[in-house]
Amino acid sequence: MKILKFGGTSVGSAERMKSVAELIQSDEPEIVVLSAMSGTTNQLVQIAEKLYQNQNQEANALIDALHDKYKQVVEELYTTSEKKKQASELIAHHFDYIRAFTQDLFTIHEERAVLAQGELLSTALFQFFLEEHNIPSVLLPALNFMKIDENEEPDNDYIAKNLKAELEKYPDNKLFITQGYICRNAFGEIDNLKRGGSDYSASLIGAAADASEIQIWTDIDGMHNNDPRVVKNTYPIAELSFDEAAELAYFGAKILHPSSVQPAKQKNIPVRLLNTMQPDARGTIISNKTESGSIKAVAAKDGITAIKIKSGRMLLAYGFLRSVFEIFERYKTPIDMITTSEVAVSLTIDNPKHLQDILAEIMEFGQVEVDENQTIVCVVGDFIAERSGAGLKVFESLKNIPLRMISYGGSTNNISVLINTSDKVAALTSLNEGIFERNQNHA
Ligand code: ADP
Ligand code: ASP
Ligand code: MG
């Protein structure tokens, strides 16, 4: 079994959907995971905002505009009047469902139901297209098997059991289509795996189905060595280890959802990143192998808050860090980076939801300083083999950038620094020049 996930741009128009139908032709069993058509989830977010604010007229205008876009897709995607009719009725049904929320109380539960419509639409439209072309396939409702628990973590046993049950209903079928991103939560309600979550769906489904490979098809030819949205002259990396890819995804390489490497790593399933616009490009293979001794890539994660706690109680004491960490644990707020001196500890978080409560408790330990608008820049590679030179190259490249925190040695494949977000472009550009552009041996 192979898993093939196609992102928003890859299914972003009737034309693109037709190319996907070609790319999935195979003799092997496949589960194809689709995102919403590009732009749709953003538009659904906007609609939800209007509904929250009770601005029903504005919400209706946005809903109508999105509905019109889908009417156009239906016109372009199908040739037979039968399928056009079937698809028009289907989209009308979804948009009526969204419109109905203008009459009702709108809370986070309704918002999640609205956000799920994008993937429900793209997969249903794609399934109709396959039917029109007599390509045998089955549409599997992700809401029947994708589930998160009360901690918003995937319920792997449930997913494996229920996915298997769904697949067993169709023993003779080889091609399955399903929705990325959407799931049910511990209360059985519609929920999602957070923005960009279709990659995570693909990886969870791959792990649940013991797939031989997970392919993430997107609009770029693999994981690049630096953020192509920020820096010119980036290039694809042929091979990454699971750990390297996980660090890059977690620290901001948008091509992969932050958690999407873990399920594949656990089951040792190779993940291939491929480009729908250039299907023959080699892309990136993520596996348990790595090319040793090189700096592979740089990524940056914005929206970071740094907290410094200076405390006399830390001096020569044990148990201090535990007491600090317990506060973060209580507020379910993960810590990303941490540095310590004998009298102070600095740490970073990316979710400021409970910041005020956390600060109120931490202030009991001593003086607290908070810096917002910070960015973690993460340099990923094999730093064991290059131990004597890699750090130097990184810091030499960053010599003109004020560094708020440095983290080295936490793992053998990551050096991270914390900077002001306003210095991000300069930092990524300097690292590109200092590390990669002088290196002639890259892919
Ligand atoms: P999809 O809709 O297919 O999930 P995304 O927009 O989520 O696609 O991810 C692909 C985008 O990720 C690329 O177009 C690129 O701009 C961005 N990106 C950021 N960092 C990297 C990187 N290091 N390598 C490749 N792409 C990256
Ligand atoms: N459609 C969702 C989003 O835009 C999930 C995804 O594309 O991965 O965030
Ligand atoms: Mg994505």
Q: Which ligand is nearest to the CA of 273?
A: 1
Is residue 258 within 6 Å of ligand 2 at its C-beta? no
pTM across the whole model:
0.94
Digit-coded pLDDT (tens) for 344-358: 999 999 999 999 999
Residue 363 structure tokens: 């202030």
Ligand 2 nearest atom to the CA of residue 38, by list position: 4
Cα 40 to ligand 2 centre (Å): 9
The tokens describing 335, both together, are 């810590």
Ligand number nearest CA of 45 is 2
Q: In angstroms, rounded to a whole number, what is the distance separating the alpha carbons of residues 175 and 79? A: 22
Residue 321: which pLDDT band, with cuts at 50, 70 and 90?
A: confident
CA distance 294 to 10: 32
Q: Which two tokens stand for residue 198?
A: 């279709």
Question: CATH for 296-442, among 3.40.50.2300, 3.40.50.620, 3.40.50.800, 3.30.2130.10?
Answer: 3.30.2130.10
CA 182 – ligand 2 centroid, Å: 9
For position 360, what pLDDT does the model report? Answer: 95
- Ligand 1: residue of 23, 38, 195, 218 to mutate (most ligand atoms within 8 A of CB) is 218
Asked if residue 381 has its Cβ within 6 Å of ligand 2, the reply is no
- The answer to whether 414 and 376 have CB atoms below 8 angstroms apart is no
* Binding site membership of 223 for ligand 1 (Cβ less than 6 Å): yes
Would you place residue 439 in the very low, low, confident or very high pLDDT band (cuts 50, 70, 90)? low
3-state SS class at 380: strand
Count of Cβ atoms closer than 10 Å to residue 412 Cβ = 12
Is the CB–ligand 2 distance for residue 197 below 6 Å? Answer: yes
Contact 345, 325 (CB under 8 A): no
Closest ligand (CA of 220):
1
pLDDT score of 69 more than 70: yes
The alpha carbon of 254 and the centre of ligand 1 are apart by a number of angstroms equal to 5
The CATH architecture to which 2-219 belongs is 3-Layer(aba) Sandwich (3.40)
**Mean pLDDT, to the nearest integer, of 296-303?**
96
Of 285, 255, 286, 29, nearest in space to 163 by CA = 29
Cβ neighbours of residue 212 closer than 8 Å, sequence gap 6 or more:
1, 2, 269
Question: What is the 3-state secondary structure of 341-360?
Answer: CCCEEEEEECCHHHHHHHHH
User: Are the CB atoms for 285 and 238 separated by under 8 Å?
Assistant: yes
CA angle (143 as vertex; 137, 149 as ends), nearest 5: 140
Where are the chain's structural domains? 2-219, 296-442
CA 118 to ligand 2: nearest atom: 1
197-251 tens-digit pLDDT? 999 999 999 999 999 999 999 999 999 999 999 999 999 999 999 999 999 999 9
